Amino acid sequence: MRKEAAPSSAPSTATTVGKLFVCFETKSLVATLLALTLVMLLWNLPPYYQNLLSTTRPCSAPLSVAASATTSLLSTNASLPYTATPVAEKKYYSAPKAKPSDPNKRVLEAYGNAAALFVLMGAYRGGPTTFAVVGLASKPIHVFGRPWYKCEWISNNGSSFRAKAYKMLPDWGYGRVYTVVVVNCTFPLNPNQDNLGGKLMINAYYGESQRKYEKFTALEEAPGSYNDSKYRPPFQYEYLYCGSSLYGNLSADRMREWMAYHAWFFGPSSHFVFHDAGGVTPEVRAALAPWVRAGRATVQDIRDQVEYDGYYYNQFLVVNDCLHRYRHTANWTFYFDVDEYIYLPDGNTLESVLNEFSDYTQFTIEQNPMSSVLCLNDSSQQYSRQWGFEKLLFRDSRTRIRRDRKYAIQAKNAYATGVHMSENVIGKTLHKTETKIRYYHYHNTITVHQELCREYLPLSAKNKVTFFNKLPYVYDDSMKKLANTIKEFERNTIGNLHLI
């Protein structure tokens, strides 16, 4: 039987080294893959620590630190880029409670804050002796607790004045994690009588106890800045538009049409304030830019509101901030949306209508609900070149049903407001206004970027009631008759507008 020769020592050594090399290479590859997987997993984890840290500070923090850390929403005209704080700079310290010696004594330990006690958006002087502080607050603490506020004016001359605050919750219970709070501070006399300046401080209490509270600076007045004439007529404008939060994928064409129409409707002594909650895209901004340059409109960036879970993009917060920010800017302030068009029937003029309503603090406006899809099947019309209100001509004719109303208010007589009317006013409210003023509502059109005419009715529909989706519609061309006037007004005012 033939025997195999014994292997030499050199090949044996080479084989062993080769196996070790392959083993080492495989382990390195596995380790690398595991490390990369762990890094990617950590990278995609939600950064919950950011929200916790943003509203947490040690109880022993000095007042200056607490004031600088006060969470605030700033209404600015420019977007600020988000900058993340490096992980190395973040602190995760919570002092543990001492363990009790009694094993039956249970200890509850809290970590972080779910909602802020107060989120400041703006504070404004409302007259010689009164101020308004507008913000958000944790809704549960206002529903189930008894938080309250105290106002203090610290003058630059060293004196101070205190006043108990009156709080209002104007969002009708619609708040979510946060509810809207308007704090009214009324002093017995003008705290800045010498015009040396000073600051308004707010104590926000967690409950009935006076021992637990947060103190922050709400407003500062520079020396010589107080001007009593600002709070008396005549005001800068006749009419002011306070818009709700703009969000979603808005149509630049619809915004252009709306702005041109209402700039014409309200006339040169008017101003428009828009609030960008994410809906002012570059295209929409381009449509509004000529009016901003002409001084007819202001666009405020409120995208920070997304951090605070309130009702419908915090629109109650926005309308209240606008009310107080521009309280003494115009005789009448109008609240309605960008898919709604104010209209005066039967030859009324805006000046004559408002003169007739001058004894009322506010009046509500009834709507004409329009179809967002129905057009006439008329081959003579070039619908692709027409504006929305020029071709959507069919009105929902149902009666005796409740529809949302919009409103106008003499802001100088209001302490807080809502989306459809105010419940915190001095004076009377008028509702029976449909023969004097109305608004056309083109619901579900403001985010449509394609052709609006999607369903066509025969020409005979102009003279009869037509049912579509089981709803009755009648032909109404009141707005169409104004289209050429509005287009000419736009050309004469800002020139030919070419959207992006």
| Omega prior to 282 cis, within 30 of 0 | no
Average pLDDT of span 89-103 = 68
58 pLDDT higher than 50: no
- The two tokens of residue 179 are 């509810």
Q: What per-residue confidence (pLDDT) applies to 109?
A: 84
Q: Please, what is the end-to-end C-alpha distance for the chain in angstroms?
A: 93
147 pLDDT higher than 90: yes
Q: What per-residue confidence (pLDDT) applies to 25?
A: 57
Q: pLDDT of 60-88, one tens digit each?
A: 344 443 334 344 444 444 333 333 444 44
Strands 406-409 and 360-369: antiparallel
- The two tokens of residue 482 are 């104004």
Average pLDDT of span 480-486 = 97
In single-letter form, the type of residue at position 161 comes to F
Q: Which of 198, 197, 231, 201 is nearest to 214 (CA)?
A: 201
Q: What per-residue confidence (pLDDT) applies to 84?
A: 40
Whether the pTM exceeds 0.75: the reply is: yes
Q: What per-residue confidence (pLDDT) applies to 98?
A: 82
Q: pLDDT of 322-369, one tens digit each?
A: 999 999 999 999 999 999 999 999 989 999 999 999 999 999 999 999
Comparing 32 with 80, the larger pLDDT belongs to: 32
Residue 486: CB partners within 8 Å, gap ≥ 6? 257, 260, 261, 264, 387
196 pLDDT higher than 70: yes
Q: What per-residue confidence (pLDDT) applies to 499?
A: 72
Q: Which residue has the tokens 């990369």?
A: 36
Average pLDDT of span 227-241 = 96
Average pLDDT of span 227-234 = 95
Q: Above pLDDT 70, what percent of the chain?
A: 82
Q: What per-residue confidence (pLDDT) applies to 95?
A: 67
304 pLDDT higher than 50: yes
Average pLDDT value over all residues in the chain = 87
- The two tokens of residue 358 are 């001058």
Average pLDDT of span 386-393 = 98
Q: What per-residue confidence (pLDDT) applies to 148?
A: 96
